[in-house]
Structure 1
Amino acid sequence: MLSRTISTKLSNCTSLQYLDLGMNFFTGVVPDLSQLSQLKFLSLNLSMFTGRFPWKSLRNLTRLSFLSLGDNPFDKTPFPLEILNLQYLSSLYLSNCTIEGRIPETIGNLSLLESLQLSINYLVGEIPVGATKLINLQMLELYDNQLSETLPVGLSNLVNLAEFDVSTNLLFGDLSELRGLSRLESLHLFENNFSSTIPEEFEEFKYLRQFSIYTNKFTGELPAKIGSWAEFEYIDVSTNYLTGSIPPDMCKMGKMKKLLMIQNNFTGRLPENYASCTSLIRLRVNNNSLSGRVPDGIWSSPNLGITDLEMNQFEGQVGRNIGEAKSLAHLFLANNRFSGELPMEISNASSLVEIRLTSNLFSGEIPVTIGSLNKLSKLLLQDNKFSGAIPESLGSCVSLNEINLAGNSFSGQIPESLGSLASLNSLNLSGNKLSGVIPASLSSLKLTLIDLSNNMLFGRVPQPLLLVAYNGSFAGNPGLCADGSKDLRECSPVSHKSCQVKLAMYCFIAVAVVLMFSLSYLLFLKLSKIDRKSPMNRGSSWDVKHFHVLKFSEDEIVRSLTQENIIGKGSSGNVYKVDLKCGEQLAVKHMSSAEILPKERTRWPEYEAEVAALSSLRHMNVVKLYCCISSEDSNLLVYEYMPNGSLLDRLHTNNISMDWSVRYDIGIGVAMGIQYLHHGCERPVLHRDVKSKNILLDEEMKPKLADFGLAKIVQSGKVMDSTHIIAGTHGYIAPGKLLYAYVITKVKTIYFNIYLRVNYKFCPLCLSQISGAVLYL
């Protein structure tokens, strides 16, 4: 590679026809080139030239057919009009060389151009109609600029175009001008504002190999035969509003490497054809409404590096052939309905870096052979039905930095071997049945988060762990103690023998107390049979429909519905706080009893709407509905408990200030929740009553949308169970209901804006930033 500056003596080479100084490390400016009038080929790209390029020199280089000046940090300049005189030019590369302004209409005068590349500049305005005269163009790249408006009329004239890339601009409109470009091999339109449907003609593009349209607003279905003719390499249609099924034949020629369809509304099964697509290296279809079993060959695909099926309704088991997936690094299956045991063969997938199985129905034990996964950095199995002991071999996964096994039924002791995981910084074993003492070996870890709450641990908490713990890290373990901790009892300096005696005494007292309370409770039940106001006395049997893994029974819920546990009252009934034996807390809404309803109805619309709306929702900003419990004349809804109450309480009734960063985070969280309701579900849900009273706050002040009693579900362009009665709270009523009997989801953001302006009116910056998020609702 050459360096330093170019001598001005270069201008003496008046007979020079070919000059290639590209890909070097020159300094300074490009000298005057006007004397090199015989030049046909000039390449200076990627050579670190600076300053102002001598554009006027080009007036004399009329023989040029190839000009490449890109990837140099020249001074910013408008499009150099001198180039328009180069009538023999067939290839022009000016990408990434600081050109600003508009592309001139007269670009069409360069009639011999076959390649035009102006990407990564500061170009604005529309793509000129003059460009449609360049009928010899085979490559047109304008990506990463600020071009706007629609695709120019006449673009269909470029019938020889093979590569078209206008990604990362501000373009909008439809793709009708591309219908006739049947020679396209590569089409990139991502990160714009295009809308409408994908033209059916695209399925007849027999040379198409690359198709990327992610982050737009496309709707409708993908053409069924798209990608089935040529050696199709990849498709990325993520973050649109596409529906229907996944085209089945895109790997027909066996060359497909990437199938990316994240965050759309695709339905149906994953086509069986992709089970034999051994060329795949990335499969990502998360955040759709796909269902059924995963084709068996997907699990063992030899080149797949990432399998991402999260946020769908897939079911069945992980195939035992997953051990054959030698390239698999990321296995993402969270928020589905997968079940069964994690196969032991997964330990043979030696490239695994991350396993994310959160919120499924997996059961059984973690394979004891998991220690062979020495590249594994994250093991996230929370909210499943796993049981048995945590294997000691987990300590052999030397790269682990995050373990989350919360919300399962693991038992036994915490393995000592976890203390040898030098890279571990997050350990969450909460909500299990773990017992014994906390291993002292954990003290050597450099943890930033530890949560061992709601287990059956006892003994002294190692002092180093107290330094990284938060208030609830060890809650729900009555046997734990610590010195100098305000959240745990003090440890008593007693002998081992004394501890055994005291433990026996405590057990005896506990058994006696339990028996006494049991007898008292039975007596209370007998005496309270005549009390018809208690919801637990009216139904002879309970019907439970659960939507998450439950750690409680209906009897435990019903017994807690007493007067002293009422935390709220509404028009449809009372809300109770329930403390479970395991240490967790729930909120239970008891809908009005049958005695105050017409005799022919035992369930009323708010109850059915809330169950229908929440039963299938899975989002961090939507309150979790664990189950519904009903009898002949009582209806109960069991939710997660929100310790910080509603946003209304925090803003108006409590003497607790909220800084603007917290309010900002709450606004963003509510916006993400509404976006999920409108576009992230199989059937969009319209809340219809978003207000501060219906926004609940968890212990970390994260917002969750609640009270779906007025919600409606949209399906096939209709709103289920529509009514002509205006629904919602005055000031927050969905504007769609004021005009039509059916509600349109896009209208819902209007009254969310009302909520924003009410709660953020004194922070214009917060309001403007959050309002930006509303555009995507």
Structure 2
Amino acid sequence: MHLKLLPTFFSFCILVVAVVAVDNAETSALLSIKSGLIDPLGLLSNWTKNTPYCRWNGVQCDSTGSVEGLGLSRMNLSGKISEEIQHLTSLARLNLCCNAFSSSLPRSLTKLQKLEVLDVSLNSFAGLFPTGFTATGLTVVNTSGNNFVGLLPEDFGNLTSLEILDLRGSFFEGSIPKSYRNLRNLKFLGVSGNNLTGKIPAELGELSMLEKLIIGYNGFEGGIPPEFGNLSSLRYLDIAVGNLDGEIPMELGKMQSLTTVYLYKNNLKGDIPKEIGNMSALVLLDLSDNQISGAIPIEIARLSKLQLLNLMCNRLTGSIPAGIDELTKLQVLELWNNSLTGPLPANLGRNSSLQWLDVSSNSLSGEIPDGLCNGNNLTKLILFNNQFSGPIPMSLSSCSSLVRVRMQNNKFNGTVPNGLGKLAKLQRLELASNELDGEIPADLASSLSLSFIDLSHNHLKSSLPSNILSIPTLQSFMASDNELTGDIPAHFQDFPSLSEIDLSNNNLSGRIPASLASCEKLVKLNLGSNRLTGEIPTAIAMMSTLAIIDLSNNLLTGSFPESFGNSPALEMLNLANNNLSGPVPTNGILKTMNPNELAGNPGLCGGVLPPCGSAISHSIMTSRRSDHIKHIVAGWATGVAAVLAIAIAVFAVHQLYRRWYTVDGCFCDGCDEETSSGSGHAAPRIPAPEFRQR
């Protein structure tokens, strides 16, 4: 060998030795890591000395053959990461996401000087998160979805290259470190879903590059820092369920890039700042479940890109701004549980793709706009507990997108629109506690999708459509407190979905259909306060699912079915005020049932009642009949006395009126004509108490 080539040769030998040494160190480190892992899928089976480690699953090498990436995500791995990982000195990317680790992280991670991306998300890593990272090139740290405890690492504030810091969904406590103000390249900061307390640092308002801030689901103190208005690049703000109080800062109106604001489920007070109308890019706004008061600012109508507006469960008053019906992109409007008044905006839904409207539990009034479903996108129309009046719009019958219609506890009048039964997606129809009259539309019986129908507490007349109780998807049908007549339809065969039937307080007659027993899932049956006759079908008494049965206040005859006592589900049985006779069985629930639920059946005896044929029984029955007669006589006497009292009062008032009119002459000319019996004015009707429930 030429002497001049010796230095080159020695350099080459040194390089080879160094490379071999590095290879040995990295091979040893990787095998040490593997030895600490549980690999049920065998995905690391090629990690052997017989194969170059750059070909091992999940190992990425750079041009020099050094390990620069370790991607072990979604391999169902568990166990413990070895401290030997520190010997992978060129490691830039470590991804352990989406596995089953439950150990702590090795502290030696902090010694990886070239680390750029660290992702250990969606595991069950526990313990303290390692501190002391000195990798100045670290751009991504994702620890979300683990069980880390302790304080948020304050020294993250020294990692000025960080662009993504995701610490969500662990058990970190304490406050957000003020040192995070130094992360001037940060675009994403997430610390939601921890046990953080203290005030939100105003210093976060200095992060001019920040695009997403997700810090809710914690227990902060104080309110939203006004300095957040300086986050000019912020597009997504989520501080929902953060225990915040105070008012919404008007400075938020300066955030022109914001598309999403979630502040729901806090303790925010005061008015919605009108400056919110300056957030021209806003798409999603949710301020629900707070204590916000005052009116909805009309400036919200300037948010032309708004798709979702959720303001429910606050203390808002005043009317819904008319301009909201001009938001052409609005899809979801939820204003329920406030104190809003006035009508719905006249063009609501006419010029937008409205999908969900819920304004229930307010004091809104007026008629329903006819164009709510113009785009045929409306799926949920929820208006209950208001004072809406007028007829139900016929246009709803052609709204093929409807899934839920909940309009109970209002003042709607007229008839139930025809065509609702032909809506292929309609599952829930609630029109109870209104002033509806006319018939139940026959087309409801042709529905193939309705599961819940409630028409109770109206003035519906005529008979039930013959197939109304045989809708194949129907689970609950309620039409109590109406003026329905005729028989109960007997078409129940092969329709076992029904779990509740309530036809009480009507004028139904005829027999109870024995085919009801084919409703294998029926839990509640209320046919009380009608004019039903005949015997109680034995098949119904044998139903194994029935828990509540009310057949009281009818004209039923025959004996007490012994099968009732054998029902394993029966909790309440009311047969009071019928014409049943014979002995009461003593099996099952019948041993302990309340005698009042059998009252008014003078022919019943035994069981929880006095023994059959006893003098006591005869005496008690005689006494009950006597008491019944006395009550009737007393009622007549009271009624006659009341009529006489009213007549005397009317006569006295009339005399006083005549005397005043004669003496003082205070009444205008023509009043007699206006108030005469021929004027055509009907006396005001005092409505029965409404049965309101949310």
Q: What TM-score comes out, normalization by structure 1 length?
A: 0.64
Give, in whole Å, the separation in 2 of the partners of 1:215 and 1:443.
45
Change in CA separation of 1:208 and 1:597 when aligned onto 2, cut-off 3 Å: closer
Provide the aligned length of Structure 1 versus Structure 2.
537
Q: Report deviation, 1:319.
A: 2.5
Contact 1:197 1:218 in 2 (8 A): yes
1:301 maps to what in 2? 423
Name the Cα RMSD after superposition.
3.3
Is the 2:288–2:314 contact (alpha carbons within 8 Å) kept by the matching residues of 1?
yes
Are the structure 2 counterparts of residues 124 and 389 from structure 1 closer, same or farther at C-alpha, using a change threshold of 3 Å? Answer: same
Distance change in 2, residues 1:410/1:602 (3 Å): farther
Which residue of the other structure, out of 281, 299, 314, is the alignment partner of 2:403? 281
Residue 143 of structure 1: aligned partner = 264
Q: How does 1:182-581 map to 2 (within 5 A)?
A: 182-445=304-567, 446-464=569-587, 465-483=589-607, 485=608, 488-492=609-613, 565=634, 575-576=638-639
The answer to whether the 8 Å contact 1:480/1:489 transfers is no
Deviation at 1:412? 0.8
Pairing 1:69–2:122 present:
no
How big is the shift at 1:596? 6.9
Maintained 8 Å contact 2:272/2:294: yes
Cα 1:156–1:248, aligned 2, differ >3 Å: closer, same or farther?
A: same
How far 1:348 moved relative to its partner? Answer: 4.0
Given residue 571 of structure 2, which amino acid in structure 1 is its aligned partner? T
Q: Structure 1 residues 165 and 293, CA, compared in 2 at 3 Å: closer, same or farther?
A: same
Identify unmatched segments of 5+ residues in structure 2.
1-97, 111-132, 658-676
Residue pair 2:301, 2:327 contacting (<8 A) in 1 also: no
What residue in structure 2 maps to residue 774 of structure 1? none
AA partner of residue 619 (structure 1): E
- State the 1:157 CA deviation: 1.7
CA distance in 1, matches of 2:594, 2:174: 58
CA-to-aligned-CA distance 1:141-184 (integer Å, 9 cap, x gap): 11110010112242222222221111111111112242322322
1:710 alignment partner in structure 2: none
1:302/1:324 contact within 8 Å kept: no
2:221 aligns with 100
- 1:69-88 matched pairs, under 5 angstroms: 69-72=191-194, 74-88=195-209
Cα distance per residue 1:713-746 (max 9 Å; x no partner):
xxxxxxxxxxxxxxxxxxxxxxxxxxxxxxxxxx
Counterpart contact for 1:353–1:377, Cα < 8 Å: yes
Aligned to 2:645: 592
Q: Which amino acid aligns with 1:575?
A: T
* Alignment-mate amino acid for residue 590 of structure 1: V
Structure 1 position 311, deviation (Å) = 0.4
CA distance in 2, matches of 1:390, 1:425: 18
Say which SS state the counterpart of residue 324 (structure 2) adopts.
Answer: helix
Q: Partner of 1:36 in structure 2?
A: 159
Provide closer, same or farther for how the CA distance between residues 106 and 598 of structure 1 changes in structure 2, counting only shifts above 3 A: same
Secondary structure of the residue that 2:419 maps to in structure 1? helix
| Structure 1 residues 458 and 411, CA gap change in structure 2 (3 angstroms) | same
Residue matched to 1:728: none
Contact 1:356–1:379 (8 Å) recurs in 2: yes
The one-letter code of the counterpart of 2:543 is L
Equivalent residue letter for 2:373 = C
Is 14-23 or 134-143 further displaced after alignment? 14-23
Tell me how far 1:81 sits from its aligned partner: 3.1
SS of equivalent residue, structure 1 residue 217: coil
CA contact (8 A) 1:256 1:280 kept: yes
Task: Please give the alpha-carbon distance, in whole angstroms, between the structure 2 residues aligned to 1:33 and 1:330.
Answer: 55
Structure 1 CA distance for aligned equivalents of residues 685 and 494 of structure 2: 40
Residue 44 of structure 1 and its aligned partner are, at CA, apart by 3.0
Please tell me whether the aligned partners of residues 43 and 69 of structure 1 are also in contact (alpha carbons under 8 angstroms). Answer: yes
Which structure's CA Rg is the greater one?
2
Q: 1:566 to 1:223 in 2, by over 3 A?
A: closer
The offset of 1:330, in angstroms, is 1.0
Q: Would the aligned equivalents of 1:301 and 1:324 in 2 still touch at CA under 8 Å?
A: no
How do 1:718-733 residues align onto structure 2 when only pairs under 5 Å count?
A: none
Whole-angstrom CA distance in 2 between matches of 1:26 and 1:422: 51
Residues in 2 aligned to 1:343 and 1:247: alpha-carbon distance in whole angstroms: 29
**Which region of structure 1 is more displaced relative to structure 2, 176-185 or 227-236?**
176-185
How many Å apart are 1:595 and its aligned residue?
6.2
Paired letter, 2:385: Q
Determine if the alignment matches structure 1 residue 121 to structure 2 residue 192: no
Q: State the shift of 1:323 in Å.
A: 3.6
Name the structure 2 match of 1:755. none
- What letter corresponds to residue 270 of structure 2 in structure 1? E
1:619 maps to: 690
Identity %: 30
Q: Which residue does the alignment assign to 1:90?
A: 211
* Displacement of 1:110: 1.1
CA shift digits 1:121-156 (9 cap, x unpaired)? 111111112212212222111111001011224222
What SS does the corresponding residue of 2:599 show, helix, strand or coil? coil
- 1:180 correspondence with 2:180: no
Give the Å deviation of 1:214: 0.6
Contact 2:201 2:225 in 1 (8 A): no
Whole-angstrom distance in 2 between the partners of 1:208 and 1:134: 21
Q: Is the 8 A contact 1:237 1:261 kept in 2?
A: yes
Superposed displacement of residue 245, structure 1:
0.6
1:476 to partner: Cα distance:
1.1
Question: Alpha carbons of 1:466 and 1:168: their partners in 2 closer, same or farther (altered >3 Å)?
Answer: same
2:119 corresponds to which residue?
none
Deviations 1:467-519 (A, max 9, x none): 34224211111111114x4xx442139xxxxxxxxx9xxxxx9xxxx9xx9xx
Alignment correspondent of 1:51 = 173
Distance 1:54 1:593 in 2: 75
| 8 A Cα contact 1:303 1:325, kept in partner | no
AA aligned opposite 1:58: Y
1:258/1:83 CA distance change after superposition, 3 Å: same
**Any conservation in 2 of the 1:561–1:576 contact (CA below 8 Å)?**
no
What SS is found at the alignment partner of 2:402? coil
Query: 1:399, 1:421 within 8 Å by CA — same for their partners in 2?
Result: no
Does the Cα contact within 8 Å between 2:265 and 2:290 map onto a contact in 1?
yes
Residue 380 to residue 348, structure 1, CA distance change in 2 (3 Å): closer
* Residue 111, structure 1, aligned to residue 174, structure 2: no
**Alignment deviations for residues 169-213 of structure 1 (CA, whole Å, 9 cap, x no partner):** 111111224232232211111111111111111111111111011
Secondary structure of 1:108's partner? Answer: helix
Give, as a single letter, the amino acid of the residue that structure 1 aligns with 2:351: W
> Structure 1 regions of 5+ residues with no counterpart?
494-502, 504-508, 518-555, 568-573, 578-587, 621-671, 681-777
Distance 1:294 1:38, change over 3 A: same
The question of whether the paired residues in 1 share the 8 Å contact of 2:188 and 2:210 is answered with yes
